[in-house]
Structure 1
Amino acid sequence: MADFVPGLDLARSLYEEIVAPLVDRPHAACLLGEGSEVQGFDDERSRDHEWGPRLQLFVDVPDVDRVARAVRASLPAQHRGHPTSWFSLDTGRVTDHLEITTLALWMSTRLPAVPPAPAGPADWLAIPQQHLRQLIAGEVFHDDLQDVTRLREGLAWYPTDVWRWMLACQWHLIGQVLPLLARTRETSDRRGTRLLSARLTELMMEMAFLQERQYRPYAKWFGRAFESLGAARDLGPLLDAGDEATDRALLLLGQRHDELGITDRVGPRIEPFAVGIADAVRPYPVLNTPEYIEASVASIGDRALRDLPRVGSIDQLTHADDTLITFTDWPAALADRYRGQLSS
């Protein structure tokens, strides 16, 4: 068996050494979509299914059949010691894994929840981050059509108002957990404390992705991708330290928010929890998240979005697992729901 080579490297050499000389029409060649190799996270274990020399080749509609025949007629059985055909879940048989098609058709079948040109906030809020990451990650090896490049540039990150609203929602989620966690500690509810501590850690890591304008992957690669963030150096050790460093982690996130420069500066501080009923104040240390929520919302220019209930985007609102985002019409249904809320 050939030595392991990262899938992106294998795809690039497949294109440069074999495919490119066979294509005489304008085209784009890339490796996008599903697969750990697209994220740069593949390893020896990844070779046990749906892994090997593969890529997407996008051409104009009249050129699809001609290019496909030319490439497949000359495709060797192996590339750098790796078979170019193996069992395909899509077809149920052994075949090559060259996706030779149009960009529009590939998007509609592989990333159906990603509109090529989101019409407004409702469309953006219903796009799963995992699917956006599958489009933005990977590598484009060639693109004289420029369609893939323009698409990736247009979907590289949320419009600023949508981003501000998602930040407000993330602060809301964090703010909801903090007093609940303090209460479980006070009542010696060990399981409840563990559950909410884990939830808070996840929410803080999600906030780091938002602050750095990076789409987050699904759970398997969430921690791995976090390590590539600038926040990982300082925030990571605080999260690893557990409860005794929670306040410092929250203060750091507050500081990082202020440094974004997209809202009024707030200034993070830890203070007792104001219940908001009958002037009750509990001795639970919480971050001043309401002020970060207020600053984020106040900075939004779109009035309808500013007034939208802070339920969050599809990823903040639900688990957004593969069944939901890939095999159901829930993203489209949620886009309609957001649209209705924004127009009411």
Structure 2
Amino acid sequence: MPPTHHAPFLPGLRLSQHLFEEAVRPLLAAGLPGLRYAAARVGSGSEVLGFDSARSADHDWGPRLTLFLTPDDAAAQGPAIRELLAVRLPKDVHGWPTHFENSPDPLDPVGIMARTDGPVAHRVDVTDVDSWLADRLGLHGAPATADWLAMPQQRLAEVTSGAVFHDATGGLTAARDRLAWYPDQVWRHLLACQWQRISQEEAFPGRCAEAGDDLGAAVVTGRLVRDLMRLCLLLARRYAPYSKWLGSAFARLPVAATLTPHLRGALAATGAALRERHLCEAYERVAAVQNESGLAPPLDPSRRPFHGRPYLVIGAQRFAEALRATVTDPALRALPLTGAVDQWADNTDFLGLHAPARAAVRAM
């Protein structure tokens, strides 16, 4: 459904900041003076990752905010704050409605900005930090190793990206700082696991092509390209978003300028030799980044035959083992090189279920 307005597009984070500065903050100061809270645009939404555009305005986008109170204040004051904002919020911010209605399509129940003459069904949520982290990440308290392996990178990106406009309690900022990136030992383990994924299929495009299966070779090549992109994000200490924004996130990395032509070339190739050449160029460039990181002793990044078969590969398992040797945490060393939950599962519905994901990690 098209939006019901014609205001000039504003990036969602700027629009949410206007909502807070010009509407929510003054109302809270007048109605609940002395209330200590944090205000942020975090969580789901393309604007949180900085990828929104005018297209985003057609659903679940607009003036949105989350207020983080202490648990006691959230329980005691939350309903009153929601009601205050429903009655007193302006009907629009910079031309964008603050009122949301559900889509009339029962199969697509998204929120759509709409004009209203009555109370505003706003998207200002009221919660506390611990409850929000439990909801978004299934996290209770400081993250342990198993927690890190059970939290998808998309969810970690949603929690640590976006913008905090005000934090009088410091709790939200502290939580985001704790989750900003993996602990060093977990990071090394995940890098080893990502190289291991590549090692499992790097010979398959050549074998598929030799068997006359060019379509199969292209499918495996697409998987390898995806794994290389996610590996580059890991090396750059950037959480990988889900598939819609993976290419956009990868494009922001310094290595993308030289790597993208070869990834595109591998995907577009219609012959085995050209596909292999582009893949090997990509492997070697990512291996060079790995060597430059200093996380493990440098290895020869040049392509080589896959055992006695006539397919050229990087020998990705060498990099996996070199990184694994730097992992000293006994709990991580006892694990197979399967990695975090979103390194071996990419079903969106599954990754959104905290209990099954954590149970699967515990079973490793």
Same fold (TM over 0.5): yes
**CA deviation profile, 1:13-58 (whole Å, cap 9, x unmatched):** 1111111123331111100111111111112221111121110011
The equivalent residue for 2:321 is: 294
Structure 1 letter corresponding to 2:328: G
**CA deviation profile, 1:65-99 (whole Å, cap 9, x unmatched):** 25444444421111111111112559999711000
**CA deviation profile, 1:236-283 (whole Å, cap 9, x unmatched):** 122112223211110111110111112122231211112xxxxxx112
**CA deviation profile, 1:135-158 (whole Å, cap 9, x unmatched):** 011111111211111111111111
1:103 Cα deviation after fit: 1.8
Distance 1:228 1:114 in 2: 29
Distance 1:332 1:312 in 2: 13
Q: Would you say 1:173 and 2:183 are equivalent positions?
A: no
Q: Would you say 1:238 and 2:265 are equivalent positions?
A: no
**CA deviation profile, 1:116-147 (whole Å, cap 9, x unmatched):** 5212x221111111110110111111112111
Distance 1:116 1:231 in 2: 36
Q: Is the 8 A contact 1:126 1:331 kept in 2?
A: yes
Q: Is the 8 A contact 1:128 1:320 kept in 2?
A: no
The equivalent residue for 2:24 is: 19
1:97-136 equivalences in 2 (<5 Å)? 97-109=123-135, 111-119=136-144, 121-136=145-160
Q: Is the 8 A contact 2:185 2:329 kept in 1?
A: yes
1:272-311 equivalences in 2 (<5 Å)? 272-274=305-307, 281-311=308-338
1:291 Cα deviation after fit: 1.9
Identity rate, percent:
37
Structure 2 letter corresponding to 1:330: P
Q: Structure 1 stretches (4+) deviating beyond 6 angstroms?
A: 90-94
1:47-62 equivalences in 2 (<5 Å)? 47-62=57-72
The equivalent residue for 2:269 is: none
Question: Judging changes above 3 Å, is the alpha-carbon distance between structure 1 residues 99 and 211 closer, same or farther for their aligned structure 2 residues?
Answer: same
Unpaired stretches in structure 1, ≥5 consecutive residues: 275-280, 339-344
1:113 Cα deviation after fit: 2.9
1:1-344 equivalences in 2 (<5 Å)? 1-23=6-28, 24=33, 25-64=35-74, 65=77, 66-88=80-102, 95-109=121-135, 111-119=136-144, 121-242=145-266, 243=275, 244-274=277-307, 281-321=308-348, 323-327=349-353, 329-338=355-364
Q: Is the 8 A contact 1:14 1:79 kept in 2?
A: yes
Q: Is the 8 A contact 2:59 2:111 kept in 1?
A: no
The equivalent residue for 1:278 is: none
Question: Judging changes above 3 Å, is the alpha-carbon distance between structure 1 residues 90 and 188 closer, same or farther for their aligned structure 2 residues?
Answer: closer
Count of aligned residue pairs for this structure pair: 329
RMSD: 2.1
Unpaired stretches in structure 2, ≥5 consecutive residues: 1-5, 103-108, 115-119, 267-274
Q: When the two structures are superposed, what TM-score results if normalisation uses the length of structure 1?
A: 0.90
1:106 Cα deviation after fit: 2.4
1:202 Cα deviation after fit: 0.8
1:299 Cα deviation after fit: 0.3
Greater Cα offset, 245-254 or 94-103: 94-103
Q: When the two structures are superposed, what TM-score results if normalisation uses the length of structure 2?
A: 0.85
Match of 2:121, SS? Answer: strand
Distance 2:255 2:146 in 1: 29
Greater Cα offset, 71-80 or 308-317: 71-80
Distance 2:334 2:298 in 1: 21
Distance 1:29 1:287 in 2: 47
Question: Judging changes above 3 Å, is the alpha-carbon distance between structure 1 residues 194 and 261 closer, same or farther for their aligned structure 2 residues?
Answer: same
Distance 1:290 1:337 in 2: 24
Distance 2:361 2:40 in 1: 29
Question: Judging changes above 3 Å, is the alpha-carbon distance between structure 1 residues 301 and 31 closer, same or farther for their aligned structure 2 residues?
Answer: same
Question: Judging changes above 3 Å, is the alpha-carbon distance between structure 1 residues 181 and 114 closer, same or farther for their aligned structure 2 residues?
Answer: farther
1:181 Cα deviation after fit: 1.5
Match of 2:73, SS? Answer: helix
Distance 1:101 1:203 in 2: 36
Distance 1:142 1:232 in 2: 34
Distance 2:280 2:201 in 1: 13
